[in-house]
Structure 1
């Protein structure tokens, strides 16, 4: 009850940080806490079946004046009447969806799959979408011509947008890039927009959205997006199309804060004039070509790799280790991600740490996801992780910090994170635990523009650094 002495702004901030399940008992404490916590009980609703959609509609309409129960976030995963991908929307189902959107004025987050088919089935779905006033995050999948029209007329100006297309021509450039709905978007995810516009059209749209800072591309044409969004700082590219500009065309050099890309596309990224402080390579499912000399690797201050086991795994990993260890390499922070691959980690431990000995690595973080229901036991994983830590620390003289994050699949247990400081030189090195908040600040500092620009590590400055953390991409 001491919470009631706090002002309403603080109470709202507390409720916003809690899960829906945690808000339910809080809303039962008193009338005042009920009015504050109850909206967050229904903050986010995911509808997966037709039956759930009908039940949600009926409950909301029966209580249409009780705005506390109307969702702030809605995900409609129903593809159609059969609840399966490719199933056609039927009119009664789409009418229910339209009925919800008509009154859901509080919606801030909205995600709809197969939206083009829903709008074609009932135009009111599009009309109510355009009128929603408070959307800050919107995801529309299977965008077609009617959805493009909706995007042009939408009242909301979200900060984040996810758009998946079903168009195989240049409608992306001529329509999406000009849609006012993107005017305030800072994080944009585009999928299945692979049309390449003419040079004249692309030139006319140059810099259409300078406010976009984070861009995720999947099965898209990369070069047009770089022209449309000139100020991006974070770029993720997955299975994309690379159409390089014509010879003699000026290519603007870009220095990013984060870049995630398949190893086979590194030379194309270099040809587009891109460099990045943080480089993530999708080595989990695609090998690095050891025969190619990639400046992008040694130019990054932070390098993230996924470990997997394949025929060429050792050869490609050795090539990467040699690039990290070059005299002019800028890599100071190595992040390893290991998804259920005990054998890959064992192989890395056997072959790689000694190759990293000449490197100037300051920190290594190892992210491990353990399946929990098969394979080696938790104790076996922990024992191998300890040996991996010992191998890195003993092999790399420059190493000063080591972090380990162990997560579990198919369980609600939180990830276990440990941070250690490495002191001393040669055979007299000591490893001491440090507090998690200290490790988190060091993690942020090593990715900061301040450090990446100079590569001079200042522990006092690192422990005072509170800049925004850089998320790992999925």
Structure 2
């Protein structure tokens, strides 16, 4: 519960506390400038035999600014750190291609690191690609971004043994579309990949290369449909996060998902009835109110809709109150015929100075009253009051909806029950059958 800075004086109290505190202080280090990289290297090398101060997590930013380049002293420091950082488990390196081009030892020592479980290499080029094929570590998480627009980059990376154990893969800037004949050979080479995050990538080739994914997130991606004559594989995911304006393209690729998350959009979009109604859980970001939300409410309430759990995310500024007021005016009555079983509302404050906790609690209470009174099928109602970039479980409120007609109330339930019900409503057991078993829900401990 202490910060890294608070652990430094604690480490001088006793030998036992020194060992514990120092491990935590240096467990994760972020280096933003080349000057600091050199200073860190010099300190570590002076204490090369004290493995307690060698980091297990390391983030290194490359040169920034117009025309910036790696300095020789910084490259030498990087070589020295990689040579001795045997305990390193998490590595995030920006400008990796330039660093490897400056000194091939950067790539050689990077490839030899034995214990990496999570690796992010930003700025992958041909030399970094060679390093990926030689890496000793077999991480479970990997994030890679390309510097060159080449249509064969994705297929070359898929052939790299470094991906053999990766379950969560993030790819950025891989927007080249390889020829179909190049996709067939490496397709399915890594069946263990479960989660795929794509940013500025060509989506369809990645779906061919990783056919067993259960979670897909896309951001500013290309959705070029396959060439004529290429059969589209129908697939159902456990979780899909996508820009709303791309819904019809995702639907055309034959994708359906149990959990559908729609990013915030400042304009109307086509809701894609088939894709939306096929989800059991729908997550919306309520940043601005558009008529599209009315169309979504009608889809949720349609007879064949499978949506049972609605998650609303609101970034609370004073300017957001008109958005929420319009939502409360139009949407709850449209959701009245729905079969919604649970609603969860996240109210996240963006700026520390506005609005107050009491004001946000009042907003949540009014939303709760509007939803509970208008939707007869609701049995659970959850709320989260938070700050941006923070998740404090003490700000979670879990409740069971009780009563009939105009006398419905939300009775608090223990947090452990709420957490398990929340998880159960997203589970394959519930999403496939839509039958709620409370005994099974309270015993559910899966993802």
Alignment of 1:331-346 (within 5 A): 331-340=307-316, 341-346=320-325
Q: Does 1:222 align with 2:203?
A: yes
Q: Does 1:445 align with 2:429?
A: no
Q: Distance in 1 between matches of 2:363 and 2:391?
A: 23
Match among 170, 175, 188 for residue 151 of structure 2: 170
Q: Distance in 1 between matches of 2:66 and 2:276?
A: 39
| 1:428 Cα deviation from its structure 2 partner | 2.6
Q: Does 1:391 align with 2:370?
A: yes
| 1:285 Cα deviation from its structure 2 partner | 4.3
Match among 117, 139, 147 for residue 136 of structure 1: 117
Q: Distance in 2 between matches of 1:415 and 1:121?
A: 49
Query: Which has the higher mean CA deviation after the structures are superposed, 51-60 or 243-252?
Result: 243-252
Q: Distance in 1 between matches of 2:443 and 2:54?
A: 42
Q: Distance in 1 between matches of 2:400 and 2:4?
A: 38
Contact 1:238 1:261 in 2 (8 A): yes
Match among 89, 99, 104 for residue 80 of structure 2: 99
Q: Deviations over 1:130-149 (max 9, x none)?
A: 11010000001011111111
2:291 is paired with a residue of what secondary structure?
Answer: helix
| 1:417 Cα deviation from its structure 2 partner | 1.1
Q: TM-score, normalised by structure 2?
A: 0.94
Runs of 4+ in 1 over 6 A off after TM superposition: 410-415
Q: Does 1:330 align with 2:306?
A: yes
1:107 is paired with a residue of what secondary structure?
Answer: coil
Q: Distance in 2 between matches of 1:40 and 1:84?
A: 32
Which residue in 2 is equivalent to 1:350? 329
Q: Distance in 1 between matches of 2:35 and 2:323?
A: 45
Q: Distance in 2 between matches of 1:41 and 1:439?
A: 35
Q: Distance in 1 between matches of 2:252 and 2:388?
A: 39
Match among 39, 63, 75 for residue 55 of structure 1: 39
Q: TM-score, normalised by structure 1?
A: 0.89
Q: Distance in 2 between matches of 1:377 and 1:347?
A: 21
Q: Distance in 2 between matches of 1:174 and 1:75?
A: 27
Q: Distance in 2 between matches of 1:145 and 1:444?
A: 42
2:334 is paired with a residue of what secondary structure?
Answer: helix
Match among 414, 425, 431 for residue 404 of structure 2: 425
2:290 is paired with a residue of what secondary structure?
Answer: helix
Instruction: Structure 1: state its 5+ residue gaps.
Output: 1-16, 469-474
| 1:343 Cα deviation from its structure 2 partner | 2.8
1:146 is paired with a residue of what secondary structure?
Answer: helix
| 1:30 Cα deviation from its structure 2 partner | 4.6
**What is the RMSD computed on CA atoms of the aligned residues?**
2.1
| 1:409 Cα deviation from its structure 2 partner | 4.0
Q: Distance in 2 between matches of 1:277 and 1:411?
A: 26
Q: Does 1:406 align with 2:390?
A: no
1:369 is paired with a residue of what secondary structure?
Answer: strand
Which residue in 2 is equivalent to 1:282? 263
Match among 298, 302, 307 for residue 281 of structure 2: 302
Contact 2:347 2:360 in 1 (8 A): no
Q: Distance in 2 between matches of 1:445 and 1:38?
A: 39
Q: Does 1:320 align with 2:320?
A: no
May I ask how many residue pairs the two structures share in their alignment?
444
Match among 52, 71, 80 for residue 68 of structure 1: 52
Instruction: Structure 2: state its 5+ residue gaps.
Output: none
Contact 1:127 1:150 in 2 (8 A): yes
| 1:84 Cα deviation from its structure 2 partner | 3.7
Match among 222, 244, 247 for residue 266 of structure 1: 247
| 1:342 Cα deviation from its structure 2 partner | 3.1
Query: Which has the higher mean CA deviation after the structures are superposed, 35-44 or 134-143?
Result: 35-44
Q: Distance in 2 between matches of 1:32 and 1:69?
A: 15
Contact 1:266 1:294 in 2 (8 A): no
Q: 1:229 to 1:327 in 2, by over 3 A?
A: same
| 1:371 Cα deviation from its structure 2 partner | 2.5
Q: Distance in 1 between matches of 2:309 and 2:268?
A: 21
Q: Deviations over 1:293-351 (max 9, x none)?
A: 42110110000000122xxx331000000000001100000000112333322221222
Contact 1:259 1:278 in 2 (8 A): yes
Q: 1:314 to 1:415 in 2, by over 3 A?
A: farther
Query: Which has the higher mean CA deviation after the structures are superposed, 17-26 or 257-266?
Result: 17-26
1:277 is paired with a residue of what secondary structure?
Answer: strand
1:188 is paired with a residue of what secondary structure?
Answer: strand
Q: Does 1:365 align with 2:344?
A: yes
Q: Does 1:379 align with 2:379?
A: no
Which residue in 1 is equivalent to 2:229? 248
Q: 1:37 to 1:90 in 2, by over 3 A?
A: closer
| 1:36 Cα deviation from its structure 2 partner | 4.7
Q: Deviations over 1:133-180 (max 9, x none)?
A: 100000010111111111111111110000011121123234111111
Contact 1:288 1:317 in 2 (8 A): no
